[in-house]
Amino acid sequence: MTQNLKTQYDAIVVGGGPGGSTAATLLAKAGKSVLLIEKDKFPRYRIGESLVPGIVPVLEELDVLDKIEAHGFTEKFGITLVWGGQQEKWSVDFDEAGGAGHGKAYQVVRSEFDYILIQNAREKGVVVLEDTAVTDFLFEGARCAGVSFQGADGRDHKAFASVVIDASGQANLLGRRLHDIEVVEGLKNRAVWAYYQGGTVPEGKTAGNIIVENNISDGWLWMIPLHDGTHSIGLVAPQDAFRGRDAGEMFAEKIAESNMISGFLKDATQVTNFRSHKDWSYSCSQLQGEGYYLVGDAAGFVDPLFSTGVFLAMNSASLAVKQILASFAEPQREAENGAVYEANYRQFLDVVTSFVKFFYDTKKRKENYFNHARDLVDPMDMMTARQDFVYLITGLGGLHQSMGLRPTEALANLAKRSKPPVETTQTKQPSLEEV
């Protein structure tokens, strides 16, 4: 396959997760020649199963919503929490955001979801290479002009393009090479999770909700009902809490401490081993440059508390493609277009990160969380604070706001951002890869 490849494309995309597939598909739909290079053979395992309604407009842009809908993934209409100063259960329904958004998302088996997206990219004309690892980025002066990669045939190849999109996830390929990674202080967590069969779920419309519970001594638990009959159950806790502990033992202890999730798992059996992942929130100090864009986890990662990862990956890709297409049309505006992406997406990442940080203060009551959401997305007080909260966690709130920025506003905001609004430390080599 690799020997018949062209060596020049309009765009090269590194990584075939939701960020990479979205960028590649949208560029191909716009008539551009696109090469997508993916290290693994799909379908491949990924964590990140609970989606938010903010992905629906992008699924529509990709012409793939019907396939996702028909696949039979669990329908998710809201979230159920035991969280904050009051320890009774509370739920919010995505519909509560009123006309502002979509009322439904999905709980997905990521190997299946990501496979549908990458197949859709192929159908739209993207040249997809799996089992093929990008080994380096090629520069002409300061401009990123292509990649070298090792094909499934074991041989080394080079390909060139007008723009390279790094969607390599937490491998952070370009970010680690060119820039700093800003790790968010206070969100240096670790996650451990496993799958269970035979548990129960809540009744009625909340049956497909993600359940988030923090009435345990350290951290919080998730429960996600999947359409294959399993429950994804996870623990997120500060990295330090795991020191000297066996992760599986700690997980079992926290489940036993919980009220709600332990009840749903009463007759369930653990059917997989534990998996564990470093779960630090971070963003790259620069999200684009001459000839390149970073999208998804390659640009930044926010703690999974509000299930925003896939949403951020797909929306950052969609935002980046809009600027890339504008630059194809008017190459003399490339730097300005790149800066608009940088400012828009940076602003949105900052909103989500600061809300997650606020939410981690578990002594607050739910009304405090609602009011803080209002401050972030609805300063004119157009909706109730509870609606603002729902609007924000659907993913539609801050996105709507930052996508509305005009270039001049975006650039002014970027100039103002002398330092991030959340405390960070910088590192060149964050070593965030799976362990």
Ligand X SMILES: Cc1cc2nc3c(=O)[nH]c(=O)nc-3n(C[C@H](O)[C@H](O)[C@H](O)COP(=O)(O)OP(=O)(O)OC[C@H]3O[C@@H](n4cnc5c(N)ncnc54)[C@H](O)[C@@H]3O)c2cc1C
Q: Which CB sits closer to ligand X, 192 or 339?
A: 192
Q: How far, in Å, are 81, 84, 212, 381 from residue 388 at the CA level?
A: 17, 18, 19, 9
In the bound state with ligand X, the residue whose beta carbon lies nearer, of 319 and 383, is 319
Q: Taking a C-beta distance cutoff of 8 angstroms, is the pair 47, 110 a contact?
A: yes
Q: How far apart are CA 95 and CA 421, in angstroms?
A: 31
The residue whose two tokens read 């192929």 is 122
Structure tokens that stand for 130 in this block: 């799996």
The C-alpha R_g of the chain, in whole angstroms, comes to 21
Cβ contacts of 104 within 8 Å, gap of 6 or more: 53, 56, 75, 76, 77, 94
Which parts of this chain interact with ligand X (CB under 6 A)? 14-20, 37-40, 46-51, 133-134, 167-169, 171, 173, 191, 277, 279, 296-298, 301, 304, 307-311, 313
Q: How far is the CB of 285 from ligand X (least distance, A)?
A: 18
Nearer to ligand X, 155 or 365 (CB): 155
What is the CB neighbour count within 10 angstroms for residue 183?
19
* % helix, strand, coil for the chain, step of 5: 40, 25, 30
* Other Cβ atoms within 10 Å of 240 Cβ, number: 11
Kindly tell me which of 5 and 335 has the beta carbon lying closer to ligand X. Answer: 5
Distance of closest approach, residue 73 Cβ to ligand X, in angstroms: 13
DSSP 160-199: EEEEEEE--GGG-HHHHHHS-EEEEEEEEEEEEEEEEES-
Least CB distance from residue 18 to ligand X, whole Å? 4
CB 30 to ligand X: min, Å: 20
CA distance 272 to 12: 36
Smallest gap from Cβ 156 to ligand X, in A, equals 13
For residues 283 and 303, what is the distance between their CA atoms, to the nearest angstrom? 11
Whichever of 169 and 199 has its CB closer to ligand X, that residue is 169
DSSP-assigned letter for residue 377: H
- For the chain, the distance separating the N- and C-terminal CA atoms, rounded to the nearest angstrom, is 32
Minimum CB separation of residue 402 from ligand X in Å reads 18
- For residue 380, how many other CB atoms are within 10 A of its CB? 6
Q: Least distance to ligand X from the beta carbon of 371, Å?
A: 25
Quote the least distance from Cβ 411 to ligand X, whole Å. 26
Q: How far is the CB of 79 from ligand X (least distance, A)?
A: 11
Q: Which is nearer to ligand X, 16 or 199 (CB)?
A: 16
Helical ranges in 274-405 per DSSP H? 309-329, 334-359, 366-377, 385-393, 397-403
Complex with ligand X: residue 161 or 385, whichever CB lies closer: 161
Report the residue number, 206 or 384, with the smaller CB distance to ligand X: 206
Strand partners of residue 301: 282
- Beta strands 424-427 and 181-197: pairing type? antiparallel
Q: What token pair was written down for 266?
A: 């009463």
Closest contact distance (angstroms) between CB of 15 and ligand X is 3
Q: Which residue, 114 or 334, is less far from ligand X as judged by CB?
A: 114
Write down the residue that tokens 């009322």 correspond to: 103
Considering the complex, what minimum distance in angstroms separates the CB of residue 406 from ligand X? Answer: 27
Q: Which is nearer to ligand X, 233 or 385 (CB)?
A: 233
Nearer to ligand X, 37 or 116 (CB): 37
